[in-house]
Amino acid sequence: MPLEIKKVGVIGAGQMGNGIAHVCALAGYDVFIHDADPDRIRSGLATINGNMAKQVSKGTVTEEARQVALARIGMAERTEDLADCDLVIESATEKEEVKRKIFTGLCQVLRPDALLASNTSSISITRLAAATDRPERFIGIHFMNPVPLMELVELVRGIATDDDTFESSKQFVTRLHKTYAVAEDFPAFIVNRILLPMINEAIYTLYEGVGSVDSIDRAMKLGANHPMGPLQLADFIGLDTCLAVMQVLHEGLADSKYRPCPLLVKYVEAGWLGRKTQRGFYDYRGEKPVPTR
Ligand SMILES: NC(=O)c1ccc[n+]([C@@H]2O[C@H](COP(=O)([O-])OP(=O)(O)OC[C@H]3O[C@@H](n4cnc5c(N)ncnc54)[C@H](O)[C@@H]3O)[C@@H](O)[C@H]2O)c1
């Protein structure tokens, strides 16, 4: 029987984690959010509050629904506080060793029947599942950014994921008013397998001097009808996440066409990770974004 999910834990209170907690609470789930850095939990909750207020002002959510949803979200200072969750979604930094450690720790506190999911953009679900005591109850639930606005969720079964876990996950994302696409467990799944090489190529285009930041983004917005330019999108995703995904593609598929652009590596080494650090291909510290090259 598929497990009925009532209480959801979210690990990682960054841009994706707070978005996941946001949509879960609005859909009527009790949510507990945990981060290694307690300040990130507090800032995540403030972001959720602000984003729901925007939805109220747009008329897509009522003030009453906002108040009810906010009351459903609790802070989990320790992973032990997630002990009675039915599903825990990990959305921490895109590093395999970080995620494996989180899952190993979680298995010690969760009920044996609880489900585990990762919001990883690229890392093997089968490998992450193998680090747990319940590979059959482990699945990839890959949300898109920004979570409250984007309709798609990719569902990725690991080799051992059982049918009940898949069914529970389908019911869960449907209740969030999302549409799922099923992807096989290969590096970066569907969306990022296609999107990230395009972004990496845009960074090569900048690196080789084919165009400036401004020209590249304008060209793809007006010439390919993309809603935002690829460099703007890279800043939005986070350059550390973009690099991590390219590294997974490069290592996992062993093809030089996935080689991360050295300029991307340089930005990450500088700590210029995009919007979340106020600087990436654009500088966001002033009134409007200014290209950094
Ligand atoms: N950014 C995107 O567009 C996007 C889209 C889909 C999926 N994802 C995936 O979502 C995940 C999170 O990405 P993000 O953009 O929210 O990153 P982020 O940098 O905004 O947030 C990551 C959070 O993880 C926390 N963290 C790190 N180690 C931890 C640990 N051991 N325990 C608990 N918390 C820990 C950090 O403190 C931080 O708050 C990644 O796996 C990423 O690939 C990102």
User: What's the CATH code of the domain at 122?
Assistant: 3.40.50.720
What's residue 245's pLDDT?
Answer: 98
Q: What is the CA(246)–ligand 1 centre distance, in A?
A: 16
The distance of Cα 287 from the centroid of its chain, to the nearest Å, equals 27
Asked if residue 235 and residue 159 are part of one domain, the reply reads no
Asked if residue 276 and residue 240 are part of one domain, the reply reads yes
Domain end marker among 136, 166, 183: 183
Asked if residue 97 and residue 11 are part of one domain, the reply reads yes
In a domain, 1, yes or no: no
DSSP annotation of 274: B
What's residue 87's pLDDT?
Answer: 98
Asked if residue 129 and residue 27 are part of one domain, the reply reads yes
Q: With DSSP H G I counted as helix, E B as strand and the rest as coil, what are the percentages for the chain, rounded to 5?
A: 50, 15, 35
What strand order describes the sheet that includes 115-118? 73-75, 30-34, 7-11, 87-90, 115-118, 138-143, 152-157, 179-183
Domain that holds residue 61: 7-183
Q: Is 17 annotated as a binding residue?
A: yes
What's residue 254's pLDDT?
Answer: 97
How many C-beta neighbours within 10 Å does residue 58 have?
A: 8
Domain end marker among 159, 183, 207: 183
Asked if residue 152 and residue 101 are part of one domain, the reply reads yes
Contacts 24+ apart (CB under 8 A), 42-46: 42/75, 43/13, 44/13, 44/14, 44/17, 44/18, 45/13, 45/18, 45/73, 45/75
**3-state DSSP call for residue 138?**
strand
Q: How many domains does the chain have?
A: 2
Asked if residue 114 and residue 12 are part of one domain, the reply reads yes
In a domain, 2, yes or no: no
Are 158 and 129 a contacting pair, CB within 8 Å? yes
Tell whether ligand 1 has an atom less than 6 A from the beta carbon of residue 14. yes
In a domain, 121, yes or no: yes
Asked if residue 201 and residue 179 are part of one domain, the reply reads no
In a domain, 97, yes or no: yes
Q: Parallel, antiparallel, or unpaired: how do β-strands 138-143 and 73-75 relate? A: unpaired
Are 31 and 72 a contacting pair, CB within 8 Å? yes
Give dist(CA 184, CA 195) in Å, integer.
16
What's residue 2's pLDDT?
Answer: 87
Mean pLDDT of the chain: 97
41-68 pLDDT, tens digit per residue, is 999 999 999 999 999 999 999 999 999 9
Give dist(CA 64, CA 43) in Å, integer.
22
Asked if residue 203 and residue 80 are part of one domain, the reply reads no
What's residue 3's pLDDT?
Answer: 87
In a domain, 72, yes or no: yes
- CATH number for 255: 1.10.1040.10
Instruction: Point out the residues of the chain with pLDDT beneath 70.
Output: none
Asked if residue 272 and residue 201 are part of one domain, the reply reads yes
Domain end marker among 151, 183, 215: 183
Tell whether ligand 1 has an atom less than 6 A from the beta carbon of residue 145. yes
What's residue 138's pLDDT?
Answer: 98
Q: What is the CA(60)–ligand 1 centre distance, in A?
A: 27
Asked if residue 49 and residue 171 are part of one domain, the reply reads yes
Q: What residue's CA is closest to ligand 1, atom 40?
A: 94
Asked if residue 262 and residue 212 are part of one domain, the reply reads yes
Asked if residue 201 and residue 175 are part of one domain, the reply reads no
Q: What is the DSSP string of 24-88?
A: HHHTT-EEEEE-SSHHHHHHHHHHHHHHHHHHHHHTSS-HHHHHHHHHHEEE-SSGGGGTT-SEE
Q: What is the CA(142)–ligand 1 centre distance, in A?
A: 12
Q: Comparing C-alpha atoms, which of 164, 101, 108 is closest to residue 118? A: 101
Q: Is the peptide bond before 146 cis (omega within 30 degrees of 0)?
A: yes
